[in-house]
Amino acid sequence: MGEEIGPLIPGLPDDISLICLARVPRQYHHILNCVHKRWKYVVSSEEFLSYRRKHNLQETWIYAICKGRDKQNRFFVMDPNHQPKRCWKVLQGIPPQCLRRQGMCFETLGGRLYFLGGCDWNAGVTNEVYCYDPCRNVWEQAAPLPSPRCYFISTTLNNTLYTTNEKEVNSLSTLSWDAYNTISKTWASCEGHEVPGKLVKCITVDCRIYMVHEVQERGYYVTRIYDPSTNTMQLLEERGMSLCWYGPFGPTIIIDCTLYMLDETSGTKLLKWDDENDTWVSLGKLSPLLTRPPCKIVVVGKKIFIVGVGLMTVIVDVDVAAKSGGMLTSSSIIPEFYSEFVVLGCKTSSI
């Protein structure tokens, strides 16, 4: 005889039990996974995740991949909602292949973390993809890239993960895309487009991918817009946006359709893109005692988290930040350990 399946919570219908479990804070989900096999299944189910989305119960955590002086990768996680004890913690269970690889891409999609491609001295360039599911706290291999890639660029849009060929694209060469669909869990190659030079950055805005290219022969940068729905490319006329999106000017983030950028060329300043005047507006400087460039930035709600060397973290609330002598009002998270880890990537995952 098969094992009798009892209720999720004795004395309650399962639909009510699901509501109770969905309201448990994310920091305790690992405990729910240990109570019962059914609880573990429920916590990672689409019904559970949909309820949390629908009722604004989602909590966003921040993940970072860093490199130490020994060239080994380190992975960290922080719960930004756990005040006042916000701190970076080591992410456990990393596949050993990911610890030594260089040139990987790091993305989050559908709440999961993806580590793509890369290379090492022993195995060369790889097409392997590793996926981390925070709901189940499980690492597994995903569908491999169509071809091995290292030091390339990736982005996400509409449940799809996009990767390009290597950054070192010569002038007037072809840029190709590979697209991974999280529903079908398969890769598809998109038709290539002729590009003016090396791809240095891309970001998704308004369901399109904005790509910044370096035109070495002319000494400036141009932005092209790729629309995946039609597989078409067009030139963006606002040259100022192209110039400031170039790597040395710092990382960018979008909040409520507004583009923000961290300018690290002279100190650390937070800039905001002004659509009407086609220019960048400075919101103020950040304390040089707290920011340790080069930095990566992510957004949680209306707060920008600026993560620098050694995981030094500065938090700016764009709604309430006020200037005082040209300095932005902010809070900070000082790691419990000192390190010289350089942050290679920083992403968020919401459950």
Give pLDDT, residue 248. Answer: 45
- Among 44-53, 215-224, 261-270, 301-310, the minimum mean pLDDT is found in 215-224
Alpha-carbon distance of 171 to 79, in angstroms, equals 43
Q: Which residue has the tokens 């910044």?
A: 212
Q: Bridge partners of 73?
A: 67
Q: Write out the two tokens for 9.
A: 């919570």
Give pLDDT, residue 316. Answer: 92
37 phi, psi to nearest 5 deg: -60, -40
User: Per-residue pLDDT averaged across 233-239, rounded?
Assistant: 71
- Does 49 score more than 70 pLDDT? yes
Among the candidates 194, 226, 248, a domain finishes at 248
Give pLDDT, residue 59. Answer: 95
Instruction: State the total domains in the chain.
Output: 2
User: Per-residue pLDDT averaged across 51-71, rounded?
Assistant: 94
215: Cβ contacts below 8 Å, ≥ 6 apart = 171, 196, 197, 221, 222
Q: Write out the two tokens for 273.
A: 């893109």
DSSP labels for 300-350?
A: ETTEEEEE-GGG-EEEEETTT--EETTEEP-EEE--SS---PEEEEEEEEE
- Does 275 score more than 70 pLDDT? yes
Residue type, 311: L
**To the nearest whole number, what is the mean pLDDT of the chain?**
85
Give pLDDT, residue 2. Answer: 46
Residue type, 65: I
Q: Residues 106, 112, 115, CA angle at the centre, nearest 5°?
A: 25
- Does 152 score more than 50 pLDDT? yes
Answer whether 335's CB lies under 8 Å from 118's CB: no
Residue type, 75: F
Give pLDDT, residue 323. Answer: 57
Radius of gyration of the chain (CA): 22
Pair type for strands 124-125 and 208-215: unpaired
User: Which conformational region is residue 313 in: left (phi greater than 0), alpha (psi within -120 to 50 degrees), or beta?
Assistant: beta
Residue type, 155: T
- Does 243 score more than 60 pLDDT? no
Could you tell me the pLDDT band of residue 241, with boundaries at 50, 70 and 90? low
Per-residue model confidence as pLDDT tens digits over 76-119: 999 998 776 789 999 989 999 999 999 999 999 988 999 999 99
- Does 274 score more than 50 pLDDT? yes
- Does 20 score more than 80 pLDDT? yes
Count the helices and strands in the chain (H runs, E runs): 6, 28
- Does 245 score more than 60 pLDDT? no
Burial class of residue 289, CB neighbours in 10 A (0-12, 13-18, 19+)? exposed
Per-residue model confidence as pLDDT tens digits over 341-350: 999 999 999 9
Q: Bridge partners of 331?
A: 315
Per-residue model confidence as pLDDT tens digits over 185-218: 999 987 767 766 778 888 888 888 888 877 766 6
Could you tell me the pLDDT band of residue 1, with boundaries at 50, 70 and 90? very low
Give pLDDT, residue 330. Answer: 79
- Does 169 score more than 70 pLDDT? no
DSSP code at position 301: T
Alpha carbon distances (Å) from 219 to 16, 95, 153, 214, 237: 63, 42, 22, 8, 17
- The pTM of this model reads 0.90
**Domain presence at residue 310:** no
**Domain presence at residue 173:** yes
Burial 240-272 (b: 16+ CB within 10 A, else e): ebbebbbeebbbbbeeeeebbbbbbeeebbbbe
Among the candidates 194, 223, 248, a domain finishes at 248
**Domain presence at residue 32:** yes
User: Per-residue pLDDT averaged across 24-35, rounded?
Assistant: 92
Among the candidates 189, 215, 248, a domain finishes at 248
Could you tell me the pLDDT band of residue 238, with boundaries at 50, 70 and 90? low
Per-residue model confidence as pLDDT tens digits over 289-327: 888 999 999 999 999 999 999 999 999 988 876 555 567
- Does 51 score more than 60 pLDDT? yes
Q: Name the nearest CA neighbour of 259 among 248, 268, 242.
A: 242
**Domain, as residue range, for 201:** 162-248
**Domain presence at residue 305:** no
- Greater model confidence, 2 or 11: 11
